[in-house]
Structure 1
């Protein structure tokens, strides 16, 4: 009998303690309507999001600054049915959550992503929603914003006939884009080509990328988010492959093109040197892991171009016939140890001899190294190794003036508007102390009277070397 009474007594005690602890637990949450949440930001903004693709994940940090725990009775998306935003709290995905606890002086992370349905619009559309928190009867919210952009998606596409890309909508390329021999790809001003990881543009046929000042043809990776708050992936090299021009491809033209952040920039395979393979004007090749411009035994003319920041060589010439005019070739690559120089040219690759002829007029060639020009010459005297530099700034070991080195300024130049070491932004316009100012040949400059930014080079009769003209008022 005593044993039974003892069991009953213990049961009552346990039940009472459970009720007591439960009651204490309930009372531990603040019910004060002035005890509210604070947030890491009042608006969470996404970069442009391609429709059907979805965004990277962003986060909000929610704080309880009070001395008591809070019970958030509701967290919900105000327009979940239409906006496309989704929320993740403690590993649970959804659009609405109830009774979320947050301890005193504590915080929690809420992860947000968005996937937008096709909009049937050429221009980006602003998508908005709110993440609404209800605590002790008081509503608070964090605004959510994203621009949705309809995009043309090409997966493993081969172009077999003459085609034109327009600027109406961006073009997203997976598994590379191939232009077959005999086919021509025309890219109108403002065309934007976004390449997925490792995707390339493979040219067996011909491309004519005809941009304009302020409306270039864009070649870049497809990541639109940020690695860090101040560092978009678009400034990180290696986001896509590059542009490969094969042996049978000729008469390729890039005018006002912006090619950046790939594994490499443009690679041209060996071709007949009596036919023009590549003409590039008013264009940028920037921030690549390998070579910026690699030309193998072909014919090319490069003018008014910026070729900068390569993990290997900005310009790599092996054999061929090349002319560079008013180009800025500068290597300030800072994503690792550089494995090359700003400019290298050679007539021998260790196995095959390639006669080379390379001419540089009114160019600026510099970088972080003591010597930014390198190359190798065949031992065979009958293999031509011809070069010519005129009215240029060269960061290399000084040599006496000669018939092939005319009016050269020998200097290690780093006086530019902005060389970013922390945020990886670069502005290769010369500043007021740059030694390339006023050293270019006016007669050559008359063939290219406007710089890459549209400035008139001949205003003072003393044009600058490189693709940019300094003006009073620049830093």
Structure 2
């Protein structure tokens, strides 16, 4: 039995030796790598705000491992671009191993200060080199100056919030991440306007948005008009006021649910929207009732589309609408609850959404 086990062990050792790869060494690269693309567009980014992460691959097409001498940014440590090569962050990497017939990921981001640029089109090169071959990828981003609105962050790490509901029985509150504007405010088309959290118009004051202004809302952000406050949107033909999300990559151009809503709270008053484009939110406009005899909202010449839930959601409110075009909603273009007073003229309400449809997916849904 002992001789049998000894013989079996020797056979196993011989089998494993013959089955193993004979060459564990790394061959010096001779131009066997291939880069996925020669240009990477990081699209538009706002000044001093990190872009989203982009990626590309470097392939080893050879049947043996290679070591790339160096991967780096041409502008070096002064570059506004950042790299992560196969899991390691930095701006320059040496002796990067790529296994035979394998690849590595290179992840890229950019955070640029437009005040340090002579041209808003900011470029650098990702360089991949060895002793035989050098390749490069042109990196391009368009940097936009912008005006930013965001809640305060306190020394203890907490953030500014807005109380949107107080339970009358328990006193418990519901809050959202947000802030009040300071008094009457006018937004113009001077710079793009980027909003983080919920920007609120305080009671007794008016937010006026002039023609051509472009508002970008970060994820889980919105605009709230408080009791006794007013929103005035003064767009014009060809110079519409745009409300949309802050993802500027082409694949997000018509993606719904990327921000929250424009919310006209109970007893807001005399809200006017003329020549606006409202897109890619969860709900375009939420309108609550008011004790004022005038309409809560007058809205004209406006496009509302690509919202994950509803275009206009009215609760026992008063809305006058004229020349509206509305399409593509997860539920309905118009959803009217608990009665109210509505007058829509020369409007197109459509809903060509994909997926399962029911009565709440109709273009117009009314529940009294």
Per the normalisation by structure 1, the TM-score is: 0.62
Which of 85, 106, 124 in structure 2 is aligned with 1:129?
124
Deviation by residue 1:167-223 (Cα, 9 ceiling, x = unmatched): 121222122011012211111112111112222211121111112223211111222
Residue in 1 that maps onto 2:5: none
Query: Does residue 280 of the first structure (1) align with residue 299 of the second (2)?
Result: yes
Aligned to 1:240: 259
Report Cα offsets for 1:227-285 as digits up to 9, x if no partner. xxxx32x4222211101112222221111111111121111111247312211111111
| 1:127-149 alpha-carbon deviations (Å, 9 max, x no partner) | 10001111224321111111111
Task: Report which of the two has the higher share of strand.
Answer: 2
Question: C-alpha offsets along residues 56-103 of structure 1, whole Å, 9 cap, x if unaligned?
Answer: 111111122334433211111001334311111121100001111223
State which of 34, 39, 50 in structure 1 corresponds to 2:46: 50
Distance 1:126 1:82 in 2: 16
Task: Note if 1:97 corresponds to 2:121.
Answer: no
What SS is found at the alignment partner of 1:305?
strand
- Contact kept, 8 Å, 2:316 with 2:340, in 1: the verdict is yes
Structure 1 stretches lacking a partner, 5+ long = 1-20, 349-475
The equivalent residue for 1:74 is 70
Indicate the SS of the match to 1:153.
strand
Higher RCO (CA-CA < 8 Å; seq separation 6+) = 2
Aligned to 1:321, which of 322, 331, 341?
341
Of 270, 274, 283, which residue of structure 2 is paired with 1:251?
A: 270
Flag the 1:315–1:241 CA change in 2: closer, same or farther, 3 A.
Answer: same
Instruction: Give 1:187's aligned residue.
Output: 209
Contact kept, 8 Å, 2:196 with 2:221, in 1: the verdict is yes
Residues 134, 299 of structure 1: alpha-carbon distance in 2 compared, 3 angstrom cutoff: same
Which residue of the partner structure matches residue 318 of structure 2?
299
Q: Give the 3 Å change call, closer, same or farther, for CA 24–159 of structure 1 in structure 2.
A: closer
Determine if the alignment matches structure 1 residue 87 to structure 2 residue 83: yes
Provide the residue aligned with 1:211 in structure 2.
235
Kept in 2, the 8 Å contact 1:181–1:248? The answer is: no
Aligned-partner Cα distance in 2 for 1:211–1:80: 45
Question: Which secondary structure state, in structure 2, belongs to the residue aligned with residue 168 of structure 1?
Answer: coil
SS at match of 1:276: coil
Say if 2:336 is the partner of 1:341: no
Q: Which moved more, 1:326-335 or 1:88-97?
A: 326-335
Q: Secondary structure of 2:296's partner?
A: strand
> What SS does the corresponding residue of 1:87 show, helix, strand or coil?
strand
Match of 1:308 among 317, 322, 327: 327
Alignment of structure 1 residues 453-464 onto 2, 5 Å: none
In structure 2, distance between residues paired with 1:344 and 1:101 = 60
Task: Let me know the Cα RMSD of the aligned residues.
Answer: 2.5
Do the aligned partners of 1:273 and 1:320 also contact (CA within 8 Å) in 2?
no
How far off its partner does 1:335 sit? 6.7
SS of residue paired to 2:115: coil
CA contact (8 A) 1:240 1:263 kept: yes
> Take 1:124 and 1:257, find their aligned partners in 2: how far apart are those partners?
30
CA contact 1:29–1:71 (8 Å) conserved in 2: yes
Give the direction of change, closer, same or farther, for the CA distance of 1:129–1:136 in structure 2 (3 Å limit): same
Is residue 223 from structure 1 mapped to residue 267 from structure 2 by the alignment? no
2:312 and 2:96 map into 1 onto residues whose CA distance is 56
Aligned pairs for 1:301-450 within 5 A: 301-318=320-337, 319-334=339-354, 339-346=360-367, 348=368
Looking at structure 1, the residues matched to 76 and 264 of structure 2 have their Cα atoms a distance apart, in angstroms, of: 47
Give the conservation status (yes or no) of the 8 Å contact 1:120–1:150.
no
Q: Distance in 2 between matches of 1:271 and 1:132?
A: 62
1:463 matched to which residue of 2? none
- Pair member with larger Rg: 1
